[in-house]
Amino acid sequence: MDQIRVIDVKESVLADNDREADRTREALKKQGTYFLNVMSSPGSGKTTTLRRLIRDLSPKFKFGVMEADIDGDVDARAMQEDNVKTIQLHTGGMCHLDAGMAGRGLSEIGTKDLDCVVLENIGNLVCPAEFDTGASGNLTILSVPEGSDKPLKYPLMFQVCEAMVINKIDVLPYFDFDFDKVREYALMRNPDLQIFPVSAKTGEGFEALEAWLSRKILDWKKA
């Protein structure tokens, strides 16, 4: 009996995706537009964090936002209240965006006049981390109510990101959240991870986060 041929379809799909992602990065690099991919679980405060971050940095940079959801446009409408150039991306049931989907969104929003495009990815700590969107950088948000163990349970998310925001520090007194442990677990996955404790509600901690993103945008333009 002939040996059965086994073809790794996932590997092929990811390789094609990575090539498209590299083309996206190269094109955005030439025009000086920084592309930030923001990932987290549902309810971590992505939209609230991004609204405050963009409001504070808008005097320095021009932003565009791509809101990705399985359905609905609640987050996109919230962004538009701040007069931010925004489009809604629907994934049709898929739990992540790949490079092709992100590329289509970038074409639709138009990036030539933007300093930074932010993708608010699907709320999920697993699938979005598996696909390179072509972003210049990846950031994840972990909220205090989620607990300190998430870097242990979802290692890839923390490996592919260069920054982690710990949001909702204003509710620390009400939850059993160990800062030392979450830092230890996250740096175990990624020793170079930048960590920013913040409260999107009060604004505490945003100065350091805003300085980090400003440097990223400016460095992308210079390099």
* The predicted structure's pLDDT at residue 26: 97
Tens digit of each residue's pLDDT (9 = 90 or more) over 31-89: 999 999 999 999 999 999 999 999 999 999 999 999 998 777 888 888 889 999 999 99
* The predicted structure's pLDDT at residue 165: 98
Tens digit of each residue's pLDDT (9 = 90 or more) over 93-108: 778 899 999 999 999 9
C-alpha pair distances (Å), 97 with each of 2, 37, 43, 137, 185 = 39, 10, 19, 15, 26
* The predicted structure's pLDDT at residue 8: 59
Cβ burial, residue 46 (10 Å; 0-12/13-18/19+): buried
SS3 190: coil
Cα gap 75→68, rounded to integer Å? 9
Tens digit of each residue's pLDDT (9 = 90 or more) over 148-200: 999 999 999 999 999 999 999 999 999 999 999 999 999 999 999 999 999 99
* The predicted structure's pLDDT at residue 70: 75
Q: Is the pTM of this model over 0.85?
A: yes
Cα gap 21→15, rounded to integer Å? 10
* The predicted structure's pLDDT at residue 4: 67
Tens digit of each residue's pLDDT (9 = 90 or more) over 9-35: 556 668 899 999 999 999 999 999 999
Cβ burial, residue 219 (10 Å; 0-12/13-18/19+): exposed
* The predicted structure's pLDDT at residue 131: 95
* The predicted structure's pLDDT at residue 7: 53
As given in the structure block, the two tokens for residue 64 are 């565009």
H or E element at residue 183: helix 179-189
DSSP state of 53: H
CB 97 within 8 A of CB 91: yes
Tens digit of each residue's pLDDT (9 = 90 or more) over 101-146: 999 999 999 999 999 999 999 999 999 999 999 999 999 999 999 9
